Chain A
Amino acid sequence: MTERVGFSAGRVGTIALNTFTESVRQKVYYILLIFALVVIASASFFAQFSFSEQLKFVKDFCLGALSVFGALIAIIGTAQMLPAELENRTIYTILAKPVRRGEFLLGKYLGSVCLVAVSLLFMGLMFGAALWFKEHRLIAEALAMAESTPADELQHTLQQIRAEALDPDILKGVLLIFVKLALLAVVTLLVSTFSTSMVFNVAVTVMVFLAGHLRGVATEAWGEMLWVRALLAIVPDLSAFNVADDIILGNVIPWGHVGKVALYGLVRTVILLAAAHLIFSRREI
């Protein structure tokens, strides 16, 4: 009787861990991450605004940096995965074992998502440090002027600084950036299932990244044209994940909204993963 080989989470985990190890042992990843951390840390050294504007600037600057550097890490990290496997023929040795192509693809994707998560964690910690540094500096400045400020006004200023620095909505913003980057990684993976060039994968995904952010503008400008509408239906709406403006303006972001946007990202991710699997399972290796 033929032995059956079912789907194995263990094999997926092994491939994911290997993909993650591969990425973190590459110099390009460290260079990108260190550069991102330096940029985020530098946000706290801008001081030409009022205290409220300074904190807003740090949040705006850091959330932007998280999004852009996270996207670079997600795209570059994912774009080279399949071409490198094919070029180095390591894919032969893996698929010659009792490994399903779906397990291989999912493992590769999860490894890439782990890389994005760890990068976001480091960048988020640096973001927190930048906010903390700025908060303490502003408090020190406010206290230095304590003699010339009425006591209740000083108290109000200190409370406002602390409230702005410890805004819990920042975490919601970072969470949505993570979902967006996971979606971006699957777009890159999908492109690499039918292409063999890393440059092509990066170029196409960067275009999707830009189109996804400009989707709203494009719909307004050219939404009447059928082909534009068809094209925009394929491109995910990445601007939906951007809540930085609300965070900066101090608007409360309801968890319901975060859940809805995250679900949108998850559904898109699952659909694109299924499409990637469909193409990859038919690919001649």
Chain B
Amino acid sequence: MDAIRTENLTKKYALGWRRGKLLALERLNLRVHEGEVYGLLGPNGSGKSTTLKLILGLVTRTEGEAWIFDVPCDQVASRLHVGFLPENPYFYRYLTGVETLEFYGRLCGMRGAALQKRIDALLELVGLARARDRRLAGYSKGMLQRIGLAQALVHDPKLLLLDEPTAGVDPIGSRDIRDLILRLKQMGKTVLLCSHLLAQVQDVCDRIGILNLGQMILEGDVRTLIRDQRRLSFTVQNLPAEGQARVEEAVRAAGGQVIAVEHPQTTLESLFLDALRKDERGMRQHD
């Protein structure tokens, strides 16, 4: 069974009196398999958020169909097993972390000790246990994003829709969210992720789809799509200079071409995190 399935899903927004319609999404045929992390990519205005809204029944489709676990998206029952984190979420600022999760938990029919136990576990999972009784008005951007993830997970959904989950979050928070997505995947959850951070998508997604101007222009397995079939790279260690010359010679002798010989570079993210880790004063706690 697919977690999400759409057939010719189309959305046209009315632009107002005598201004026609805007085609936001055109004949989208999307399949997100159960247990995979799917990345929906595309520039601003490409139709990513519209796709999420259509799947959640927040806007009505112009044409086509959409299902969540084979339940049509216009039925309330389709949202029984879905958790959603919108882009830049603002929650009720006057509620504390615990009150926020109680509110969303009750909306999902949870009550009493089971709900309290779930809230404790979630606050621990997203690293907000120490800020549990603080009002959200005093939360940082990263903390809001993490309480957003917790509310999306409160009823232990099988499917998670995450719209730019790391928008505005610092690299440490961003890495935490990436690790959390990977942990959710290990737990068998299905994740549909919309993001501009391509490196992050590459790290966590099994498959991706690229939307542009409302149309799916490329889709497939991440590793297959980014693999350069014509080139091969070796990463070797402790190779003396004469050894390097002999390797290059061997490549040429076998009919290959040496394109570049260089020291591999670390990522800026690794450099940043290493620098903070080595700082003897330690790191600021998020909560």
Say yes or no: A89-B58 contact (C-beta < 8 A), given A97-B107, A284-B13: no
* CB-defined contacts of B109 to chain A, threshold 8 Å: 8, 10-11, 98
* CB of A200 within 8 Å of the partner chain: no
Interchain CA distance A14-B106 in the complex, whole Å: 7
Residue interface bits B149-187, CB-to-A below 8 A is 1, else 0:
001100100000100000000000000000000000000
B84 near A92 with CB under 8 A, answer: yes
* CB-defined contacts of A100 to chain B, threshold 8 Å: 76
* CB of B94 within 8 Å of the partner chain: yes
* CB of A231 within 8 Å of the partner chain: no
Interchain CA distance A105-B92 in the complex, whole Å: 17
Say yes or no: A22-B94 contact (C-beta < 8 A), given A100-B76, A284-B13: yes
* CB of A3 within 8 Å of the partner chain: yes
Interchain CA distance A26-B92 in the complex, whole Å: 12
* CB of A195 within 8 Å of the partner chain: no
* CB of A5 within 8 Å of the partner chain: yes
B90 near A89 with CB under 8 A, answer: yes
Say yes or no: A97-B77 contact (C-beta < 8 A), given A89-B86, A90-B92: no
* CB-defined contacts of A15 to chain B, threshold 8 Å: 107
Say yes or no: A95-B77 contact (C-beta < 8 A), given A22-B92, A89-B88: no
B90 near A285 with CB under 8 A, answer: no
Question: Within the complex, what minimum Cβ distance (angstroms) separates A96 from chain B?
Answer: 4
Interchain CA distance A191-B70 in the complex, whole Å: 37
* CB of B56 within 8 Å of the partner chain: yes
* CB-defined contacts of B53 to chain A, threshold 8 Å: 285
Question: Within the complex, what minimum Cβ distance (angstroms) separates B77 from chain A?
Answer: 5
Q: List 12 A-B contacts (CB under 8 A).
A: A3-B77, A5-B77, A11-B107, A22-B94, A26-B94, A89-B88, A92-B86, A92-B89, A99-B76, A284-B58, A284-B60, A285-B58
Closest 6 CB pairs of A and B: A96-B84, A88-B90, A25-B94, A14-B106, A5-B76, A92-B86
